[in-house]
Amino acid sequence: MKKAVTISMVVFSLAAGLWLGLSSLGMKWPGVDEAVVEKFAREANRPPQKRFIDMDQGDLLLFFFLAAGAAGGFVGGYFFRELFPPKSRRSSQDA
Amino acid sequence: MHISEGILPASWAGLWFLAAVPFLAWGLRDLRVRSVTNLQFKPLVGLVGAAVFIISCMPIPVPTAGTCSHMCGTGLAAILIGPALTVVITSVALVLQALFLAHGGLTTLGADIMSMGVAGAFAGYGIFHLSQRLRLPWFVGAFLAGMLSDWATYGVTSFELATALAGDGSLKTMFVAISLAFVPTQLPLGIFEGLISAGAYRFVRVRRPELLAALQKGNAR
C-alpha cells in the first residue's frame, strides 16, 4: 500500500511537471492523425467524413475517454493481479 | 495512424478489409488452441488487450514536433502472445476506438488493422526473434521490437494513404511526403515505445519467468 501511494505521488508530480513544462512552450499540440493524415487527405480532396456515431459533442467525448480508461484500467488491473499476485499471496500459495 | 472515416475510397477500404480477414481467422484459431494447453493464457490475453487498447488511444505530447501521437503496444503484445493473436486484440481495440472515441473509422478499420495489427505485430515479432537468433541481449530485442513495430505501423499507414490519395500523381512521391511528415513525431515516440517495451518485458522476465517460457513454446507453434 505504501509503495502504491509513493508510486502515485511520483506519477502525479511527474505529470504536473510535464504539464507545466509543455504549457509554457505555447504550442497547440494537434494529434498526428489531424496534423498529418487529415492534412494530406484534405489536400487530395478526400476530407474526413462525419462519423456514423458522432460522440464529439460537448463533454460527451471526454466522458467516453474516461469511461474507456476506467474500464481498460479495471480489466488490465484485474488480470494483472491474477498473473502477478503480490509476493505474500504467492508465498502462501506455494506453501 | 488512425485513418478517419471517408478518407479511403471504397475500393481501397474493402481491399484492406479482405487482406486483414485471414490474419483475424489465424488469431482466433490461435486463441482457441493455446488456451486449452495454457490456463493462464486467457488472463494474459485480457491483460495485453487492455494494455494495447489504452496505449493506442493515449495521446503523448512530443515537444520536438509540437504534436501529440500515441504508441501502439503491438510490438510488446506480439512478443508476449504472438503476432496473430495481437491482430485480434488490436482489432477489438480499434473497433471500440472507432465507435466511441473518435479515433479512426469503421470504413477504414481494415486499413487500420493492417497497419497497427498486422504490420506492427509481425515487425515486432520478427525483429525480436531475429535478435534472439543473432544472440543479442534480450533487452535489445525487446527494445527493437517496440521501436520497429511503431515505425512499421506508420510506414504502412503512409503506404495506405499514398495508394488512396496519390491519384494521377506519383505514388512514391506521395509515400515519401507522408512518411517524412510522420518522422518528427514518430521517430522519438518509436524510441520511447522501444524503452517501454524493454521495461515491460523485463518486468515479466523477472516476476514470472516460467510464464514467459510457456508463452515462447506456444509462440513457436
Q: pTM of the predicted model, to two decimals?
A: 0.89
What pLDDT shows up at residue B221? 52
Residue B192 within any structural domain of the chain: yes
Half-sphere exposure of B124 (CA within 13 A, CB side): 37
Burial of A12 (0-12, 13-18, 19+ CB in 10 A): exposed
Band of the pLDDT at A95, cuts 50, 70, 90? low
Q: What is the rounded distance in angstroms from the CA atom of residue B132 to the CA atom of residue B30?
A: 23
Number of structural domains chain B divides into? 1
Residue ranges of chain B with per-residue pLDDT less than 70: 217-221
DSSP per residue over B190-220, as a string?
HHHHHHHHHHHHHHHHHH-HHHHHHHHHHHT
CATH number of the domain enclosing B183: 1.10.1760.20
Band of the pLDDT at A15, cuts 50, 70, 90? confident
Torsion angle defined by CA atoms of residues B45, B46, B50 and B55, in that order, rounded to the nearest 10 degrees: -10
Q: Which residue, among A79, A93, A94, would best test binding to B if mutated, counting the most B CBs under 10 Å from its CB?
A: A79
Residue B164 within any structural domain of the chain: yes
Band of the pLDDT at A92, cuts 50, 70, 90? low
Inter-chain contact A44–B167, Cβ cutoff 8 Å?
yes
Residue B4 within any structural domain of the chain: no
Mean pLDDT value across residues A51-69: 86
Residue B84 within any structural domain of the chain: yes
Residue B1 within any structural domain of the chain: no
**Pick from B152, B117, B197, B42: nearest CA to A79:** B42
What pLDDT shows up at residue A94? 59
Q: Cβ contacts (< 8 Å) between A53 and chain B: which residues?
A: 99-100
Burial of B129 (0-12, 13-18, 19+ CB in 10 A): middle
Residue B89 within any structural domain of the chain: yes
For A80, name the nearest residue in chain B, comparing CA atoms only.
Answer: B47
Residue B204 within any structural domain of the chain: yes
- Measure CA of the first residue to CA of the last residue in chain A; give whole Å: 24
Of B3, B43, B185, which is closest to A83 when you measure between CB atoms? B43
Beta bridge partners, B61, equal B68
Q: Which domain holds residue B28?
A: 10-219
Q: What is the rounded distance in angstroms from the CA atom of residue A80 to the CA atom of residue B203?
A: 12
Band of the pLDDT at A18, cuts 50, 70, 90? confident
Inter-chain contact A22–B2, Cβ cutoff 8 Å?
no
Residue B131 within any structural domain of the chain: yes
Note the ipTM here: 0.85
Cell matching residue B167: 491519384
Inter-chain contact B208–A64, Cβ cutoff 8 Å?
no
